[in-house]
Amino acid sequence: MTTTEQQVLDRIERARRRAPRVREEHITLAHGAGGKATQTLVEDVFAGAFANPALEPLDDGAVLELGESRMVMTTDSYVVSPVFFPGGDIGDLAVNGTVNDLAVSGARPLYLSAGFILEEGFPVADLRRITASMAAAARRAGVAIVTGDTKVVQRGRGDGCYITTTGAGLADRSGGLGAARVRPGDAILVSGPVGDHGVTVMLARGELDLAADVVSDTAPLHEPVAALLDALPEEVHMLRDATRGGVATVLNEVAQAAGVAMTVHESAVPVRPAVNGACELLGIDPLYVACEGRFVAFVDGDHADTALGALRSHPQGRDAALVGRVEAAPSGLVLLKTAFGGTRIIDLLVGDPLPRIC
């Protein structure tokens, strides 16, 4: 590495370490997109105000003492538009998304709450369809929806149906998982093709003169996660589901938190041809597109094949792939080895080319 390159990286590193500060006066869509703007908002406004040991902005679930038990708690609001799309709807999305945040935290998902914010005029038949879909997703994931709340806002103050789910689970295996365990030499795996969900929702909006044979990947991940952790209880170092911001955002957040670099081989990342085609037409990199049934695993490099075998033993991980490796430096950066033999930095995006995807 030349001195000039090192200087650039040092400058990037200094910028990264500066306390983040929201500079905008008003909230923009980017603040909800899961990228840099969201990270800044969370670190400046939320983490500052709510500071406590359990609140870790990076992690999707908080590990908590509850009497003699250890619990994981996680929450997500769902504002996907449209509420129905090929392969799913806001209901199963809201159940699966929260189940998955628990699963990748190493928790056994048990209970969900659901808060509904409905817009006046929303069809009751659609609400029935959504609750039926939530119930089916909860059965499939083995969780119970135990408490809820409904509010209604006037026309023009909502968009049909928003749902906030909160999940609680037993922290069976949470102790051994986390960015602190990710180290150089770890293998990076994805559990299946990326970008299906985001592209599906975008096409379902019908704003683009584009059709593709693709459905959302929304699914519960507790079983493939368990298959992986059963096979390698010690060797799996961290898991993250790749939702808002896609796989690229997960890799960046983990690289920053763990103080490591990541090298990813573009040709090794599984992407369906239809997703690739849609992304090319739109000028979007599929690595940034949200999935709702895929996760990234960081596993001891010596056990990558066992991990891949364990994932592929489950239908939900049939197309799992080894996509790259954790390196020592340059700390905090994700490097993509392109199909053409080049290397480029895959940075966090400020916003998201696809708003309201989940």
Residues 83-142 that bind a second copy (CB under 8 A): 110-111, 113-125, 127-128, 131-132, 134-135, 138
Find the shortest distance in angstroms from Cβ 330 to a second copy: 30
Rounded to a whole number of angstroms, the minimum distance from the CB of residue 81 to a second copy is: 8
Residue 38 binds to a second copy (criterion: CB under 8 A): yes
Question: Under the phi-then-psi rule, with left for phi > 0, alpha for psi from -120 to 50, and beta for the rest, what region is 228?
Answer: alpha
Q: Is 58 in the site for a second copy (CB under 8 A)?
A: no
Q: Per rule CB under 8 A, is residue 350 in the interface with a second copy?
A: no
239 binds a second copy (CB under 8 A): no
Position among 6, 16, 144, 302 found at the interface with a second copy (CB under 8 A): 144
Residue 339 interacts with a second copy (CB under 8 A): yes or no: no
* Whether 96 contacts 218, CB under 8 Å: yes
Nearest approach in angstroms of CB 90 to a second copy is 12
Q: How far is the CB of 65 from a second copy (least distance, A)?
A: 9
The least CB distance from residue 226 to a second copy, in Å, is 18
SS3 state of residue 62: strand
Nearest to 312 by CA among 275, 270, 276: 270
CA distances from 126 to 18, 130, 172 (A): 47, 6, 37
Judged by CB, which is closer to a second copy: 50, or 345? 50
By CB under 8 A, residue 277 contacts a second copy: no
Q: What is the DSSP string of 189-232?
A: EESS-SSHHHHHHHHHT--SS---S--------HHHHHHHHHH-
Question: What track of x and - describes contact with a second copy for positions 252 through 271 (by CB under 8 A)?
Answer: --------------------
Q: Would you say 11 or 151 has its CB closer to a second copy?
A: 151
Q: Which H or E run contains 297?
A: strand 295-299
- From candidates 36, 74, 85, 260, binder to a second copy by CB under 8 A: 74
Nearer to a second copy, 116 or 212 (CB): 116
Using CB under 8 A, pick the residue from 35, 73, 188, 333 that binds a second copy. 73
Q: What sign does the dihedral 175-68-75-270 (CA atoms) show?
A: positive
Place of tokens 């189940």: 99
Show the CA angle centred on residue 184, arms to residues 180 and 190, nearest 5°.
Answer: 80
Q: Does 177 bind a second copy (CB under 8 A)?
A: no
Q: How far apart are CA 13 and CA 3, in angstroms?
A: 15
Q: Quick one: 121 or 184, whose CB is closer to a second copy? A: 121
Q: How many residues lie near a second copy (CB under 8 A)?
A: 83
- Is residue 43 a contact residue for a second copy (CB under 8 A)? no
**Under the criterion CB under 8 A, does residue 82 sit at the interface with a second copy?**
no
- Complex with a second copy: residue 166 or 331, whichever CB lies closer: 166
* C-beta of residue 58 within 8 angstroms of C-beta of residue 253: yes
Q: Examine residue 207 and tell whether it contacts a second copy (CB under 8 A).
A: no
Positions in 12-31 near a second copy (CB under 8 A): 22, 24-31
Q: Which of 145, 226, 282, 335 binds a second copy (CB under 8 A)?
A: 145
d(CA 34, CA 229): 27
What is each CA distance from 301 to 68, 92, 183, 193, 307, in whole angstroms?
35, 34, 10, 21, 10
328 touching a second copy, by CB under 8 A: no
Residue number, 153 or 210, with CB nearest to a second copy: 153
The CA-atom distances, in angstroms, between 332 and each of 19, 182, 188, 352 are 16, 12, 15, 20
For residue 75, which of 54, 50, 102, 53 has the smallest C-alpha distance? 102
Nearest CB to a second copy, comparing residues 78 and 325: 78
**DSSP SS3 for 236:** strand
